[in-house]
Structure 1
Amino acid sequence: MAIEGTPQVPFGEPDGIADVAVQRPWRMRAVLSRTGEAAERFLTASSFDRGPWITVAFAAGIGAWFLLDNRWQCSVAMGAAVLAALAAIAVWRGRDDRAALRLAVTVLSVAFALGMATVWSKSELVGAAAIERPTVVSLDARILDREEQPAVERVRLTLAARDAEAGRPIKVRVNVPLEKDVGGLEEGARVRLKARLMPPSAPILPGAYDFARAAWFKGLAATGSLVGEIELVEQVGNRNSPIAQAQRFLSKHVRSRLDGAPGTIAAAFASGDRGGISAVDEDAMRDAGLTHLLSISGLHVSAVIAAAYFLASKLFALWPWFALRVRLPLVAAAVGAGAGIAYTLLTGAEVPTVRSCIGAMLVLGALALGREPLSMRMVAVAAAAVLFAWPEALVGPSFQMSFAAVIAIIALHNSEPIRAFLAPREESRARWLARRTVMLFVTGLVIEIALTPVVLFHFHRAGLYGAFANVVAIPLVTFVSMPLIAIALLLDMVGAGAPFWWLVGVSLDLLLDLAHFTASQPGAVKLVPHMGLGIIALFVAGGLWLALWRGKARLWGLIPAALAALILAVSPVPDILVTRDGGNLGLVDERGNLFVLRGAPGTYARTNIVELAGSEIEPRNIRDYAGADCSADFCTLRLKTSDREWIVLVALNKQRVDERQLAAACELSDVVVADRWLPRSCMPRWLKLDRRYLERNGGVAIYLEDEQVRTVASSQGDHGWWQPVQD
């Protein structure tokens, strides 16, 4: 007689087999139950805050769409996320002991799918196919946008035109030299011109800037330059944007009141116009870790709103009748909000500015309601709003750096040790100031740590002394330069702003001197080779866990961050870098010295080769390489790895050579590189990088030790902005 509740063993079956067959589902069910129970306890004990993680899941969906190769993969990913949400509801329905886990899986899965759907929809709505080939065309167009760039002596016009070959409306961007700029070239005007256009360029090397992707989401089908003169057919009258007019007027006014580099920086602070800042000053600010001061973002918007809030609260407090009948924090918050929105619109409403404005509105609302103004939920709402409107911003450095800095600041200041350190106490003014100075330095250091992975991923270089420079630069800009600019602009209405413009110039000269001094110090800049997506994903995952989780469990975020740092430290440097047109090449020897095929210092191709090779030593010509044997037409390069010697044949020009001699040379080479089509008789032992290969695959990075080849095409998938030449 069988005992109730025990499994029955069929007659004739071995006991072991029956036990496995019957017990295994029970064991699996028990394991799943224990796993779910542990996850539920963990979420409950950690006070799981869904708000920020919903935005993280939404952003993860957007990022997954960029990473996946084609529509089928994206559809499967979205379907899997929806199925996960439905499964969580079905499996744990009615179980109060799984409420937190059910809610977490459901909400995060739906947010992931929604993020992927958002960016996919945006791509389909605004993406514009590029023109097929470089061409010179005559355009009859309307001006959509005008951007003045006096630092490079040109005006950049965005035009609505028609593709003569395809017969479709297109948006193109044309650079017009300042000497050919004519009056009336403003938004809405109709013009005729001849332009040399080309498709938006893909990355020149794996890991380089992807302008084609950025142009896709801006709707640009081509970029180029003016050929000949530009004819103004129809003026716009008074129909052009009043905001654009105000922005240009303000920028010109500031530059007219303050000459030189300080005037260009002041114009950037006042109107968001960075077109007048020289490349030398831009590079110095970047290498000193101060570039964020030039981009209108949280610091500037916060300063404007804080000043408006403070002045409104103090001025209205002087009116007793009003102060007794109206809540002054509410009125001051409304004034600050108006000032912040006006400043955001005036400075161009770029993504960092909009993000900062949304965050500031939430802070003002919290202040008006007497709530905690700085919270991760506030950042999450601001990030979600930006990503819903501009999902493509997720993969850009501006969004990543802005939110990384804000999240780092809030996580730091909400931590218990920092709250205790900043808590009010009886002390002298000197000790109070010392604590605030230390806190400013610690904040700058934490921001630098948070931003370094992002900066290295996008720019392959980072300023090492940024924390020290920001201790001086941030208070200087926030409490001196920007208030002085505001006062000078107000006093200009009565013609009395000159003394304050002089003070603005002094403060900005000090800022530039600090940037140039910091950037010129030995070891101020660290270059690293291209960081893979896996490494930056580990950094981001670790950083978000550290910032958003609560309790001791947040320290688990150190594990992926430390792992990413270790992988980055041992990541190999590419031995050979070949640009997308084959026109330039970089070679790194066993000592880390870089040799380039051609290109003067500062050219786009050479700069990218230097950065992606992580070389801090001035590169030399390829002919100076010890293993180079060069003729008038070709260079034979010998490179040694741990187990063999590699022979690389590089074409130096496009002169015709005897095909039999070329075939013999190719047969003796492991890799052949040329900026032209090579005959099929050229058969190297391993890899032939000629024009045919490079047009299909883009720029190339070669790792000889691992016999690995990374191409631009390998990270592009079937997205609309990648258009390789097909055979």
Structure 2
Amino acid sequence: MGGGVLVYFDLTREPAVWVSGGLVAAAAGVLALVWRWAVPRGVAVLLLAAALGFGRAQVQTLAMPKLLVVPHHGVTITGRVVGVDLLPTGRRIRIAHPTLNGGAVQARAVRVKLRRGDDIAVEAGDSVRLRALLYGPSRPAYPGGWNFGRDQYFAGLGAVGFAISPLDVTARAPPGWFSALRQVREAIAARILRDMPLDTGSIAATLLTGFEDSIPPAERQDFITAGLAHILAVAGLHIGIVMATLYALARFIVGFSEFVLLRVPAKIVASVVSFVGGVVYAALTGFHVPIVRSLAMAALVLAGIIAGRRALSLRGLALAALALMMIEPQAVPGPSFQMSFSAVLALIAGYEAVGRRFSIGGASHGARLGRHVAALAFTSFLAGGASMPFAAYHFQQIEPYYVLANLIAVPLTALVVLPLGMAALVLMPLHLARFALVPMGWGIAVILRVARLVGGLPHALIEISPSPGYAVALVAIGLALLGLLRSRARFAGIAPIALGVLAMTLGRAPDVLVSPTGNLAGVRDGGVVRIVEAGRVDKFTLAQWRPVWAGDAVRHGAADDVCDNGRCAFAAGRVLYLADRAAGAGGCGSAAVVISPRPLRGTCRRHGRLVIDRFSVWRNGAMAVWFRRNRLVVRTDRTVQGNRPWVPPWPPRWHHAGRW
């Protein structure tokens, strides 16, 4: 089913509505015809599952409202606040069903960052009015880059921007459970940030409320470099710790009650308490997709405990994946789905294969401690190793020391930080939370120290170039074979994993790359990549470009400082950069590629020469060029994304950019 979902999202044109139904009907017909034969029946079942996944993804897409037409000037926004995010530099609000300049109510929400110093009290449910500059979904920084527009499309977000006037609260929120829950979360986060320093308080607020925007960028990068980013991403690890703590605590307390033990099995009482606590924690952290997915998986584990079945099984994992794909098919192409399910699959299969080696029964205290440490290292190795290829594909980086960092950070989170955080939540109504928050901050400070120490080791973060999709698909197939098969045939999965990893290393970065606005142009010039900046520096695009030329020496500078008279020649004259049309008055020589952040309007255009100016990227998005002997290979964001519901409409294309 997941394969069908991925095929749908990889298309460059939206299929007709009838295609999904036709595929399901055809697969069902094939299944009926081959039902008598085991192997063909299995293949037909897989085809039917893929067709169902394809259809479910299309249905989800059709159910979403159309893209918002975003004005290119300041607008007056009115609407109801559904979320307030606390940022290191201020606040950001999400407004549902807004009206722009008094027009019709829009189906998509807008997200606006308030002006610094605008301290007016605002809560979820309040009706507000303000003026803001809005921007539609941004195009990827390079062809094949991460598509933030698709994320915004399925999140129901139409535009983002920043306020240019103070916020005016026109009506306070009426009572309601959703707004009340949001207010509780915001109040908890504000209390934590008031009682704790920002460096530790922001992480505590993330763990207990799910608001992660207050974490300073430097600290977030420390966690990423050390391979501890999952500590900040509230999901399976966190809800597992919370529910396991509550389960153990409930069983311990129930053990003191003979009345309860004689009438209800302790495991049932503990399971109920654990599940209720998990639901409460999921609510406090926002009921976002990763936490809901993890809660569903934990509920299956508890159901297995109550029924006397295996708590963790591949069948339970499959049911959780099936449920999520039916509810949120758009999550399948994302890193959260792929990394979490690959990690859980590796853990289940790995401990089924060698878990007995970590048994501590009858061992001495020293041996037990050693096996506990070995089990922690093995767990980190399995989970991190299985999810690392997907992290490398999505984020273009790997953290080789993740096992070392997790050996300290994960036990500390499980035994100190989160239990104290749970205690703080209980004590908060009594105004005694500080007694738990202070030692919780000590534990977080140790984790921060570990993250900085590990992140400071040589090659702690290795950036890799973007990988083709088929490479990570081969890895996924190999992991499925290793995890799902029971006989020695499982080792057949090693081959596709090896091929996938090899394919990830064979990608060749483009020789020329131009940003979707044309203000950044990168050119491979001998052994150095030179990035020329025109106008305001686009730091976000530069950060997205950094892994593209991983391992290469990169030099960047303003066009006025790098180019003489607005002209720069790179790659032995094969690439010419022109600051504007006037700079091309003297001709373009033998350049095969001409780049300009301004419209050239025919300047330097001739047969066999590729001209990339402001109009080119306006029509095609970011553009990448490879030199292949005597021809050019051109890849544009337009050819990669195509025309899909989440892609902003493309301008008319006046000429075709393809192979030269």
Q: TM-score, normalised by structure 1?
A: 0.84
Equivalent position of 2:79 in the other structure: 141
Q: Residue 76 of structure 1: CA displacement?
A: 5.2
1:331-410 → structure 2 map (5 Å cutoff):
331-410=269-348
Provide Cα deviations, 1:258-311, integer angstroms capped at 9, x if missing partner: 223111111111111112110000011011110100111111101111111111
SS in 1 for 2:571: strand
In the alignment, does 2:651 pair up with 1:725? yes
Provide Cα deviations, 1:23-77, integer angstroms capped at 9, x if missing partner: xxxxxxxxxxxxxxxxxxxxxxxxxxxxxxxxxxx11111111012224488657
User: In structure 1, what is the Cα distance between the partners aligned to 2:17 and 2:74?
Assistant: 38
Q: Residue 648 of structure 1: CA displacement?
A: 0.9
Q: Which amino acid aligns with 1:594?
A: V
Q: Residue 215 of structure 1: CA displacement?
A: 1.1
Q: Residue 509 of structure 1: CA displacement?
A: 0.8
Equivalent position of 1:249 in the other structure: 187
- Larger Rg, first or second structure (1 or 2): 1
Change (3 A) 1:538 1:658: closer
Provide Cα deviations, 1:442-461, integer angstroms capped at 9, x if missing partner: 22122222122111111111
Q: Retained in 2: the 8 A contact 1:485–1:500?
A: yes
Q: Which amino acid aligns with 1:715?
A: V
User: In structure 2, what is the Cα distance between the partners aligned to 1:196 and 1:623?
Assistant: 28
SS in 2 for 1:596: strand
SS in 2 for 1:597: strand
Change (3 A) 1:156 1:614: farther
SS in 1 for 2:568: strand
SS in 1 for 2:569: strand
1:456-535 → structure 2 map (5 Å cutoff):
456-535=392-471
- Which of 210, 217, 225 is the matching residue for 2:147? 210
SS in 2 for 1:553: helix
- Which of 2, 5, 9 is the matching residue for 1:66? 9
In the alignment, does 2:31 pair up with 1:88? yes
User: In structure 1, what is the Cα distance between the partners aligned to 2:439 and 2:86?
Assistant: 26
Change (3 A) 1:500 1:681: closer
SS in 2 for 1:704: strand
1:659-678 → structure 2 map (5 Å cutoff):
661=585, 664-665=587-588, 668-678=590-600
Q: Retained in 2: the 8 A contact 1:61–1:114?
A: yes
In the alignment, does 2:532 pair up with 1:594? no
Q: Retained in 2: the 8 A contact 1:288–1:466?
A: yes
Q: Residue 102 of structure 1: CA displacement?
A: 4.6
Q: Residue 237 of structure 1: CA displacement?
A: 4.0
Q: Which amino acid aligns with 1:598?
A: E
SS in 1 for 2:150: helix
Equivalent position of 1:197 in the other structure: 134
1:247-286 → structure 2 map (5 Å cutoff):
247-286=185-224
User: In structure 1, what is the Cα distance between the partners aligned to 2:298 and 2:575?
Assistant: 57
Segment of structure 1 superposing worse, 452-461 or 363-372: 452-461
Equivalent position of 2:259 in the other structure: 321
Runs of 4+ in 1 over 6 A off after TM superposition: 599-602
User: In structure 1, what is the Cα distance between the partners aligned to 2:17 and 2:624?
Assistant: 28
RMSD (CA atoms): 2.5
Q: Which amino acid aligns with 2:544?
A: N
Change (3 A) 1:482 1:201: same
Equivalent position of 1:538 in the other structure: 474
SS in 2 for 1:325: coil
Q: Residue 87 of structure 1: CA displacement?
A: 2.3
Provide Cα deviations, 1:93-142, integer angstroms capped at 9, x if missing partner: 5x3xx2x3354234322221211111111111114313255332122222
User: In structure 1, what is the Cα distance between the partners aligned to 2:423 and 2:538?
Assistant: 39
Aligned pairs, how many?
Answer: 646
Q: Retained in 1: the 8 A contact 2:228–2:405?
A: yes
User: In structure 2, what is the Cα distance between the partners aligned to 1:493 and 1:73?
Assistant: 55
Provide Cα deviations, 1:506-526, integer angstroms capped at 9, x if missing partner: 211110111111112211111
Q: Which amino acid aligns with 1:305?
A: M
User: In structure 1, what is the Cα distance between the partners aligned to 2:65 and 2:404?
Assistant: 42
User: In structure 1, what is the Cα distance between the partners aligned to 2:385 and 2:229?
Assistant: 16
User: In structure 2, what is the Cα distance between the partners aligned to 1:158 and 1:532?
Assistant: 37
Q: Retained in 2: the 8 A contact 1:408–1:450?
A: yes
In the alignment, does 2:499 pair up with 1:572? no
SS in 2 for 1:277: coil
Q: Which amino acid aligns with 1:703?
A: W
In the alignment, does 2:95 pair up with 1:158? yes
SS in 1 for 2:111: strand
- Which of 611, 626, 634 is the matching residue for 2:567? 634
SS in 2 for 1:356: helix
In the alignment, does 2:53 pair up with 1:130? no
Q: Give the percent of matched residue pairs that are identical in Structure 1 and Structure 2.
A: 27
Q: TM-score, normalised by structure 2?
A: 0.92
Q: Retained in 2: the 8 A contact 1:60–1:112?
A: yes
Change (3 A) 1:244 1:168: closer
1:293-312 → structure 2 map (5 Å cutoff):
293-312=231-250
Change (3 A) 1:601 1:282: farther
Q: Residue 371 of structure 1: CA displacement?
A: 0.5
Q: Which amino acid aligns with 2:257?
A: W
- Which of 634, 647, 655 is the matching residue for 1:709? 634
1:546-625 → structure 2 map (5 Å cutoff):
546-591=482-527, 593-598=528-533, 603-615=539-551, 617=553, 619-621=555-557
User: In structure 2, what is the Cα distance between the partners aligned to 1:130 and 1:491?
Assistant: 45
Q: Retained in 1: the 8 A contact 2:360–2:371?
A: no
Q: Retained in 1: the 8 A contact 2:82–2:94?
A: yes
Unaligned runs of 5+ in 2: 654-660
1:413-492 → structure 2 map (5 Å cutoff):
413-415=351-353, 418-492=354-428
User: In structure 1, what is the Cα distance between the partners aligned to 2:363 and 2:312?
Assistant: 26
User: In structure 1, what is the Cα distance between the partners aligned to 2:185 and 2:384?
Assistant: 32
Segment of structure 1 superposing worse, 441-450 or 331-340: 441-450
Q: Residue 527 of structure 1: CA displacement?
A: 0.8
Q: Residue 702 of structure 1: CA displacement?
A: 1.9
Equivalent position of 2:657 in the other structure: none
Q: Residue 589 of structure 1: CA displacement?
A: 4.0
Provide Cα deviations, 1:612-640, integer angstroms capped at 9, x if missing partner: 2214756443889xxx983132212124x
